[in-house]
Amino acid sequence: MEELLRYFQRELPEINGFLDKEADQLNGLVRDVAKHIIGSGGKRIRPLLTLLFARSLGYDKDDHHAIACSLELLHSATLLHDDYLDDAELRRGRPAAHLVFGRTETILAGDALLALANEMAARYGNAKLSWLLAKGTMETAVGEIEEIAFSKDPSLDRQTYMEIIIGKTARLIECACRCGAVLAGATPEQEDAAGEYGLNLGIAFQLVDDALDYASPTSETGKPEGGDLKEGKVTLPLILLMEEGDEAGCETLLEALKEKSLTDEQCQDLLAQVREGRYSEKTREEAAAYVEKAKACLDGFEPGEELSVLKQAADFVLTRTK
């Protein structure tokens, strides 16, 4: 992991500096919301992936920041809208933007960040980048909508769950990787390989996120433990638990999730069952398979620092604890 950390530490200041500079130029009322969400941390995985793929394919210019950071801004915009729509109280351990700035400012700041992201992508005079960004935004919005429909009418169907996490998380990570490849003038095959890496990494990333929700104490993740369950959200650890349960139990649970009538006691009981059955760990094992798929996509890339870091980044997804 040493190379990965060194790479991140070397590149993060410039990425954060670029994001700050762009946010500073926003209109005053948008700026405060933008700086709140950008300044709340975040791993900057998307911009780093864009940079890694661009360089791994031979890009040696120094103008990658606008497209790399546009992915982070798209991500930030979706967080602003989703946190509001989910009535989330915390984001990365800090109060969610809509609680600090109000719903109107938050929704419109999200729109402004979407626009800024598109403007940044358009700076290169390369319409493919704009097209990729638009597609990534669309897929993310659709993923969110499907997740919300799923939460209103939950099931324990794995395929629906997978479609949702692909839409709401993996597609934008795929998009970040494709943008890096396109910036470097990749062949269609190279772009697809980068995209496949991102898609699989994104799936693994969300699986680990959903596993962490059942496993990690609040202080590390900045989120309440078992928050997904309390919100009535069905994720893989719960699906795995129920796959081994009886049919009647599943129906009772689904009914309670749908009616939002799960008691604290029932919640604690389910959390204990997930812990005992090690379903959080089993979710991580499924994530591990996607990490392997992601790494296999890198076979055709030239050896070098970026390739090592991309491999380590895939492994890192599995080891993170927050």
Could you give the CA distance from residue 18 to residue 125 in angstroms, rounded to a whole number? 20
Please give the residues from 14 up to 53 whose contact with a copy of itself meets the rule CB under 8 A: 27, 29-30
Residue whose CB is less far from a copy of itself, 257 or 297: 257
Q: How far is the CB of 85 from a copy of itself (least distance, A)?
A: 5
Work out whether 146 is an interface residue with a copy of itself (CB under 8 A). Answer: yes
The single-letter code of the amino acid at 15 is I
What separation in angstroms does the CA of 98 have from each of 33, 107, 114, 282? 9, 8, 17, 35
Could you give the CA distance from residue 76 to residue 143 in angstroms, rounded to a whole number? 16
Could you give the CA distance from residue 198 to residue 106 in angstroms, rounded to a whole number? 29
Q: How far is the CB of 174 from a copy of itself (least distance, A)?
A: 15
Q: What's the chain's length in residues?
A: 322
Work out whether 108 is an interface residue with a copy of itself (CB under 8 A). Answer: yes
Stretch (H or E) spanning 91: strand 90-91
Rg (C-alpha) for the chain, rounded Å, is 20
Q: Which of 43, 94, 135, 293 binds a copy of itself (CB under 8 A)?
A: 135
Q: Which of 12, 90, 99, 145 binds a copy of itself (CB under 8 A)?
A: 145
Q: Which one of 81-89, 154-162, 256-264, 294-302 is the stretch in contact with a copy of itself (CB under 8 A)? A: 81-89
Work out whether 174 is an interface residue with a copy of itself (CB under 8 A). Answer: no
User: Given the rule CB under 8 A, which residues bind a copy of itself?
Assistant: 27, 29-30, 78, 81, 84-85, 103-105, 107-112, 114-116, 118-119, 121-131, 133-135, 137-138, 141-142, 144-146, 148-149
